[in-house]
């Protein structure tokens, strides 16, 4: 009896050890991933509060001897030329991203609704044609779009960027929103129809409010995509006063590649709006993003 | 007799209110109004560029000439590409880049999702921090890592020297042998959070009862993962890997900003090479031919993508 109990106890202990082993390797792994993820960002922040001279030392100052906000002041000061340029890039990015977001939502909402609810001929073909856009890299479309934009007089305007950003914002927006509409019971609309609403009224009054989280998620996605876009802005715009942030900071620092604190400060400021937006609204975003992929 | 009947039927089909496809389209005419704006945008900005790229791939623009002075050269651009040495270099780079980035990002993201699945103090904060690299701009990421790899003042080099593992900081991205792996590390840094998000969502769909039942039946943690959890994640894994593969295949910003494809083409992948051919060397025809080849390869990816997604499509009725 006692030996049996002992064996059972030993077996249990071994099992507990194995469970603990899994849990511990999981924790060690997470610590490793945390370091991999966070250290580059911490190093960006630490460099951004060094002077140009302090950044250029070997071995590096791990913690800045004399932390300074000079780089940030320079970038955000509308009185000097650096600040003027940088702030203009910032507003350009904000303008282009906001316009793209609003237009994406306006165009994608009805399309996604139709793909979710109606069975018109060609529905599947059109839906997958839209999804296929995600397959193609920006570079393939660059030359012809550049020529197209020149033909319709949009080169060197923010309009060319907004129109182009719509093309890669729309497919994902339609996909995200369709996932949301699929989950809203059709019966709700049918009830409204019975009460005398037209299909369009049912859509506006019943479905739209229910899909608000999906619309928020779609808006974040469009905004982040447009805010971070580089290739088209790099190719379509040539005048300094039109540049968006990703291209702007590149022009900026390609002339003066030694100003790493300035470059890191600019990278940080550029990252703040999208990271804040994402962290505040990530619940909606993550749900929308994964909805289509996890269904069985 | 039969011929006559056939004719009447054919005529009938052309009229709205007749039978067949046109009639169905006509009946659903109101539905198209919803998708029309989206389709119009897509048509102008996607269909036209694809047509133009295919056309341009059969032409050449000698240096100094404008695009409108293009000369028809048939399939010369294609044969030139396939017989050039750089094509094979760039193709092998692209394969290494795509496969390594995709599978390591996926493995790390999946492992993070598993480790984060159990609730513990600080899980939300940890998850948020792990996601940030995916949200910030690739341009900012490229500059951050360029600074980290810097051959004089880079922090990794300083650590290696400090530990006595190197006499002087290595040239991570200035050396042919290390540049591609160094860029892949950056790319994975940016992409594993995407896999993590997808797999976390997938894990939530694994039925708890099944896991508990397996436990009662004496399955250990590994067996429960392999026989219960993993089969449930097949769908989401396929979609995630495909999306990662396509995104990696189409990467541009990280290699372009960090190295521009150098040194000696060691970090050129298809996309950066196409960009350089077109906008750097004005070789529009060759660049277009490359784009068409790329297009065909991506259509293949697209086939699998659509198939994977169709598996998930719900068959639900219309209003």
Tell me the shortest Cα–Cα distance from B119 to chain A, in angstroms: 12
- CA-closest candidate to residue A145, choices A171, A175, A167: A167
Q: What percentage of chain A exceeds 90 in pLDDT?
A: 31
For A194, name the nearest residue in chain B, comparing CA atoms only.
B319
Instruction: Give the whole-number percent of chain B exceeding pLDDT 70.
Output: 89
φ, ψ of residue B120 in degrees (nearest 5)? -155, 165
Using a CB-CB cut-off of 8 Å, the residues of chain A touching B275 are 139, 142, 231
Residues 134-153 of chain A with CB under 8 A from chain B are 134-145, 147-148
Query: Higher confidence at residue B315 or residue B202?
Result: B202
Mark yes or no for CB contact B202/A260 under 8 Å. no
Q: What is the mean pLDDT of residues B197-225?
A: 87
H-run or E-run covering A195: none
- The residue written with tokens 């591609």 in the block is B180
> What sign for the dihedral angle of Cα B48, B52, B55, B58?
negative
pLDDT at A292 over 80: no
Query: What whole-number percentage of chain B has pLDDT above 90?
Result: 43
Alpha-carbon distance B153 to A62, whole Å? 11
- Chain B residues whose beta carbon lies within 8 Å of the beta carbon of residue A267: 136-137, 139-140, 143-144
Neighbours of B229 (CB within 10 A): 18
Using the beta-carbon criterion (under 8 Å), do A167 and B143 form an inter-chain contact?
no
Mean pLDDT across the stretch A118-136? 79
User: CB of A46 within 8 Å of any CB in chain B?
Assistant: no
* Partners of residue B164 in chain A, C-beta under 8 Å: none
The H helix count followed by the E strand count for chain A is 14, 0
Nearest residue to A39 via CA among B182, B121, B196, B148? B148
**pLDDT for the residue B143:** 93
Q: How confident is the model at residue B4 (pLDDT cuts 50, 70, 90)?
A: very low
A69 interfacial to chain B (CB closer than 8 Å): no
Do the Cβ atoms of A141 and B46 come within 8 Å?
A: yes
How far is A296 from chain B, CA to nearest CA, in Å?
Answer: 6
pLDDT value at residue A257: 65
> Per-residue pLDDT tens for B150-201?
988 889 999 999 898 888 888 899 999 999 999 999 999 999 999 999 999 8
- Rounded CA gap, A37 and B210, in Å? 34
B287 chain-A contacts, CB cut-off 8 A: 143
d(C-alpha A52, C-alpha A260), whole Å: 7
**Chain A residues with beta carbon closer than 8 angstroms to that of B31:** 114, 118, 120
The verdict on a CB contact (< 8 Å) between B236 and A115 is: no
Place of tokens 């396939």: B82
* d(CA B8, nearest CA chain A) in Å: 23
- Could you tell me which chain B residue has the CA closest to the CA of A229? B137
Which pLDDT value is given to residue A247? 93
Nearest CA in chain B to A45: B144
User: B96-140, pLDDT tens digit by residue?
Assistant: 999 999 999 999 999 999 999 888 888 989 999 999 999 999 999
Q: pLDDT band for position A19 (50/70/90)?
A: low
**Res. B19 pLDDT band, cuts 50 70 90:** low
DSSP label at residue A211 = T
B142/B13: higher pLDDT:
B142
Distance CA B231, CA B214 (A): 14
Residues in chain A closer than 8 A to B173 (CB atoms): none
CB B18: neighbour CB atoms within 10 A?
15
Best-predicted range by mean pLDDT (A183-197, A282-296, B77-91, B302-316): B77-91
Q: What is the ipTM of this complex?
A: 0.86
CB–CB contact B306 A145 (8 Å): no
> Dihedral angle at the C-alpha atoms of A21, A23, A27, A30, nearest 10 degrees?
110
With CB atoms and an 8 Å threshold, state whether A114 touches B31.
Answer: yes
Tell me the range of A146-155, B70-79, B176-185, B304-313 where mean pLDDT is highest.
Answer: B176-185
Residues of A with Cβ-Cβ distance to B241 under 8 angstroms: none
Tell which wins on pLDDT, B274 or B62: B274
């Amino acid at each position: 009896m006692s030996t049996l109990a002992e064996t059972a106890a030993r077996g249990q202990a071994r099992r507990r050890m194995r469970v603990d082993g899994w849990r511990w390797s999981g924790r060690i792994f997470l610590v490793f991933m945390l370091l991999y993820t966070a250290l580059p960002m911490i190093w960006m922040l630490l460099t951004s509060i060094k002077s140009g001279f302090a950044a250029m030392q070997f071995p590096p100052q791990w913690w800045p001897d004399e932390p300074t906000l000079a780089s940030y002041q320079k970038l955000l000061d509308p009185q000097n030329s650096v600040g003027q340029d940088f702030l203009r890039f910032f507003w350009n990015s904000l303008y282009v991203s906001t316009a793209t977001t609003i237009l994406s939502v306006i165009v994608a909402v009805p399309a996604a609704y139709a793909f979710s609810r109606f069975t018109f001929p060609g529905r599947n073909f059109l839906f997958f044609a839209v999804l296929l856009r995600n397959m193609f890299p920006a570079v393939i479309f660059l030359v012809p779009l550049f020529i197209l934009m020149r033909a319709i007089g949009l080169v060197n305007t923010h309009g060319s960027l907004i129109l182009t950003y719509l093309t890669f914002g729309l497919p994902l927006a339609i996909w995200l929103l369709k996932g949301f509409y699929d989950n809203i019971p059709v019966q709700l609309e049918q009830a409204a129809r019975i009460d005398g609403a037209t299909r369009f009224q049912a859509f506006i009054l019943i479905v739209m409010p229910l899909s608000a989280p999906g619309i928020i998620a779609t808006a974040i996605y469009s905004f982040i995509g447009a805010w971070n876009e580089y290739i088209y802005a790099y190719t379509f715009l040539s005048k300094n006063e039109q540049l968006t942030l990703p291209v702007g900071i590149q022009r900026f620092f390609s002339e003066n590649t030694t100003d790493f604190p300035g470059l890191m400060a600019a990278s940080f400021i550029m990252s703040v709006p999208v990271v804040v937006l994402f962290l505040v609204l990530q619940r909606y975003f993550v749900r929308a993003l994964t909805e289509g992929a996890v269904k069985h | 007799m039969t011929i006559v009947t056939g004719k009447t039927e054919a005529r009938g089909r052309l009229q709205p209110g007749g039978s067949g496809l046109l009639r169905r389209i006509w009946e659903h005419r109101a539905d198209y109004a919803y998708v029309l704006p989206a389709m119009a945008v897509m048509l102008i900005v996607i269909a036209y560029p694809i047509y133009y790229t295919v056309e341009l791939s059969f032409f050449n623009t000698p240096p100094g000439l404008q695009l409108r002075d293009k000369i028809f050269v048939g399939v010369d651009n294609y044969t030139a590409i396939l017989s050039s040495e750089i094509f094979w270099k760039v193709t092998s780079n692209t394969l290494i880049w795509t496969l390594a980035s995709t599978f390591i990002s996926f493995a790390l993201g999946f492992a993070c999702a598993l480790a984060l699945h159990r609730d513990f103090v600080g899980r939300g904060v940890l998850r948020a921090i792990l996601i940030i690299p995916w949200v910030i701009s690739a341009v900012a990421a490229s500059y951050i890592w360029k600074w980290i790899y810097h051959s004089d003042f880079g922090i990794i080099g300083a650590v290696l020297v400090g530990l006595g593992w190197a006499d002087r900081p290595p040239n991570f991205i200035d050396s042919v042998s290390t540049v591609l792996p160094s860029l892949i590390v950056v790319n994975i840094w940016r992409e594993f959070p995407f896999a993590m998000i997808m797999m976390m969502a997938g894990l939530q769909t694994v039925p708890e009862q099944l896991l508990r039942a397996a436990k009662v039946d004496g399955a250990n943690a590994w067996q429960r993962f392999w026989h219960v959890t993993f089969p449930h994640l097949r769908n989401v894994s396929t979609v995630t890997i495909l999306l990662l593969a396509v995104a990696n295949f189409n990467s541009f910003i990280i290699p372009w900003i960090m190295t521009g494809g150098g040194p000696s083409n060691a970090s050129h992948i298809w996309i950066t090479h196409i960009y350089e051919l077109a906008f750097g060397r004005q070789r529009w025809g060759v660049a277009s031919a490359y784009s068409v080849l790329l297009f065909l390869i991506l259509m293949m990816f697209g086939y699998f993508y659509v198939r994977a997604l169709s598996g998930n499509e719900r068959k639900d009725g219309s209003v």
